[in-house]
C-alpha cells in the first residue's frame, strides 16, 4: 500500500532508504566520479522560474502529444533502468503493469532483470526497447529481432556509456549485484571474452573501447531495424545533427543520470542548444534529474518533446511496488497539469520558453 506520508513524487526518494539496503540505495542514487553531473542535473532546474499567466481558457486542456507520428496520452516516459529486481521481487513486470495503468510508454533496458518478452506481456501497448550493442553483432541483431517480435515500437540505442564507471559511494559500501539480478534477456548469448592487452596497451583504449560501437555500427543498425531507432545520450548539438543526418527517428538528450562522464553538463543545460540545432520539429526525448511536474514543464519549455524519469521508478517500486510506480507517475502528471493550467498552457505545444524566466543570480 502507499504510505500516507507520500504527497509528491520526490517523497518516494526520501522514503526509499527505509526500503533498501544502504549499498543498494547508494548504487541507485549515485553517479560516476564525484557526482558532479548528478548535482548539476538537479541544480539546473533551480535556475528557472515558471511565469504564471492570467485569464486564459484552459477548459479544453490536455497533455496529449504526437511523437514521431505516434499518439501518447502524456509526455512522461519511463527511462530505461537496469535490474528492477534489485529493489522489488517482481522487478520490471510490476513497472510494466504500472506503466500500462497510467498510459505511459516504458523503455525496457537491455539489462532488465526480466526478459524483454516477459516485460512486453505484462505491460501496455506502448513500449520501446533500449538496446546496448553486444560484443558480437549476431547477439545485437538477435536482440533487435526479439524486441521487434515482442512488439516494441521503437529501439533506443544508448551510446553514452561504453565504459561502466562505478559509483564511489556504492563501491565504498561494497555494493554487489545479488544473484537474482542478471540481465535476463542476455542469457542466450556468450559473455564477452576479456581483451588481451599487449605490453604498453591501455586498459581503456585498446581494452574496453576496442569493442565499443562507432558510426559504422550505428549505420549497420539503422539498416537492419524494422522499427524507428532513437539514440540516447546526446549532449552535443553536432552529434544531434549528425544523428539526424544518419537517419535516426529521434534523440534522447541525457547524461545517463550522471552515471557516465562525470563533469558532463546538466541535461537541461544542454537542451536549448540541441533544440536550436535540430529545429522545432525533430523528436527529442529528455531525461536527467526530473523529480516534479514543474521539472517536466521546464524541460518541455526548453525544447523537449517528452521527458522520462529514471531513479524515481526504482524509488517508487521499492516503497510500494506497481502501485507505487503508478502513483508516482500520477503525482508527476497532476503536477504537470497544475503548472500548465497556472502558466496558461492548454496543450503541451503551448509550453514554450516564453513560459520561463531565468532566475537572477545575485551580483
Ligand atoms: C540507469 N540508466 C540507464 N540507461 C540506459 O540507457 N540503460 C540502462 O540500463 C540504464 N540503467 C540505469 C540504472 C540505474 C540504477 C540508473 C539510476 C540509471 C540511465 C537512465 O535511463 C536515465 O538516463 C537516468 O536515470 C535519468 O536521470 P534520473 O531521472 O535518474 O535523474
Q: How confident is the model at residue 194 (pLDDT cuts 50, 70, 90)?
A: confident
The partner residues of 286 in beta bridges, in order of sequence, read: 253, 307
User: Which distant-in-sequence residues (6+ apart) come within 8 Å of 128 by Cβ?
Assistant: 77, 105, 106, 107, 108, 152, 153, 154, 155, 156, 230
- This prediction's pTM: 0.98
- Cα-to-centroid distance, 346 and ligand 1 (Å): 31
CA distance 81 to 95: 11
Q: What is the mean pLDDT of residues 151-165?
A: 97
Q: How confident is the model at residue 166 (pLDDT cuts 50, 70, 90)?
A: confident
Ligand 1: residue of 26, 81, 156 to mutate (most ligand atoms within 8 A of CB) is: 81
Q: What is the mean pLDDT of residues 193-207?
A: 92
ipTM for the complex?
1.00
- Residue 111 Cβ contacting ligand 1 at under 6 Å: yes
Q: Is the pLDDT of residue 363 over 80?
A: no
Q: Is the pLDDT of residue 99 over 90?
A: yes
DSSP 8-65: STHHHHHHHHHHS-HHHHHHHH--STTSHHHHHHHHHHTTEEE----S---TT----E
The confidence score (pLDDT) of residue 193 equals 83
Query: Among the atoms of ligand 1, which is closest to the Cα of residue 158?
Result: 6
Give the closest residue (by CA) to ligand 1 atom 31. Answer: 289
Q: Is the pLDDT of residue 329 over 90?
A: yes
Ligand-binding annotation for 80, yes or no, is yes
User: Which distant-in-sequence residues (6+ apart) come within 8 Å of 4 by Cβ?
Assistant: none
CA distance 171 to 44: 27
Question: Is 236 one of the catalytic residues?
Answer: no
Q: Is the pLDDT of residue 339 over 90?
A: yes
Task: Tell me which residue has cell 527511462.
Answer: 79
What are the tens digits of pLDDT across the range 229-285?
Answer: 999 999 999 999 999 999 999 999 999 999 999 999 999 999 999 999 999 999 999
Q: How confident is the model at residue 335 (pLDDT cuts 50, 70, 90)?
A: very high
**What mean pLDDT value characterizes the chain?**
97
273 near 251, Cβ under 8 Å?
no
Q: What is the mean pLDDT of residues 320-329?
A: 98
186 near 265, Cβ under 8 Å?
no
Q: How confident is the model at residue 115 (pLDDT cuts 50, 70, 90)?
A: very high
The confidence score (pLDDT) of residue 299 equals 99
Amino acid at each position: 500500500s502507499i504510505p500516507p506520508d507520500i504527497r509528491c513524487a520526490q517523497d518516494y526518494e526520501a522514503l526509499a532508504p527505509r526500503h533498501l539496503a544502504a549499498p543498494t540505495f547508494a548504487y541507485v542514487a549515485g553517479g560516476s566520479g564525484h557526482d558532479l553531473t548528478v548535482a548539476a542535473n538537479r541544480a539546473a532546474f533551480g535556475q528557472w522560474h515558471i511565469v504564471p499567466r492570467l485569464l486564459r481558457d484552459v477548459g479544453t486542456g490536455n497533455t496529449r502529444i504526437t511523437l514521431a507520428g505516434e499518439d501518447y496520452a502524456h509526455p512522461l516516459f519511463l527511462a530505461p533502468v537496469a535490474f528492477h529486481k534489485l529493489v522489488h521481487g517482481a522487478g520490471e513486470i510490476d513497472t510494466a503493469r504500472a506503466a500500462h495503468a497510467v498510459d505511459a510508454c516504458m523503455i525496457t533496458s537491455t539489462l532488465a532483470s526480466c526478459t524483454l518478452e516477459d516485460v512486453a506481456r505484462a505491460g501496455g501497448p506502448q513500449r520501446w526497447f533500449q538496446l546496448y550493442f553486444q560484443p558480437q553483432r549476431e547477439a545485437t541483431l538477435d536482440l533487435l529481432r526479439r524486441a521487434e517480435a515482442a512488439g516494441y515500437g521503437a529501439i533506443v540505442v544508448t551510446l553514452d556509456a561504453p565504459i561502466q564507471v562505478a559509483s564511489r559511494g556504492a563501491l565504498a559500501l561494497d555494493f554487489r549485484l545479488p544473484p537474482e539480478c542478471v540481465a535476463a534477456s542476455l542469457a542466450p548469448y556468450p559473455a564477452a571474452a576479456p581483451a588481451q592487452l599487449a605490453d604498453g596497451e591501455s586498459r581503456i583504449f585498446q581494452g574496453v573501447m576496442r569493442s565499443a560501437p562507432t558510426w559504422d555500427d550505428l549505420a549497420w543498425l539503422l539498416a537492419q531495424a524494422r522499427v524507428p531507432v532513437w539514440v540516447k545520450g546526446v549532449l552535443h548539438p553536432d552529434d544531434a545533427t549528425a544523428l539526424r543526418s544518419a537517419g535516426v527517428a529521434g534523440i534522447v538528450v541525457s547524461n545517463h543520470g550522471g552515471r557516465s562522464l562525470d563533469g558532463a553538463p546538466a541535461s537541461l543545460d544542454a537542451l536549448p542548444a540541441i533544440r536550436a540545432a535540430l529545429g522545432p520539429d525533430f523528436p527529442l526525448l529528455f531525461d536527467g534529474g526530473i523529480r516534479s511536474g514543474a521539472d517536466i514543464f521546464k524541460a518541455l519549455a526548453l525544447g523537449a518533446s517528452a521527458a522520462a524519469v529514471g531513479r524515481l521508478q526504482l524509488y517508487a517500486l521499492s516503497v510500494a511496488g506497481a502501485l507505487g510506480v503508478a502513483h508516482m507517475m500520477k503525482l508527476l502528471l497532476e503536477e504537470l497539469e497544475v503548472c500548465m493550467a497556472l502558466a496558461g498552457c492548454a496543450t503541451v505545444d503551448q509550453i514554450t520558453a516564453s513560459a520561463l524566466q531565468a532566475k537572477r543570480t545575485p551580483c
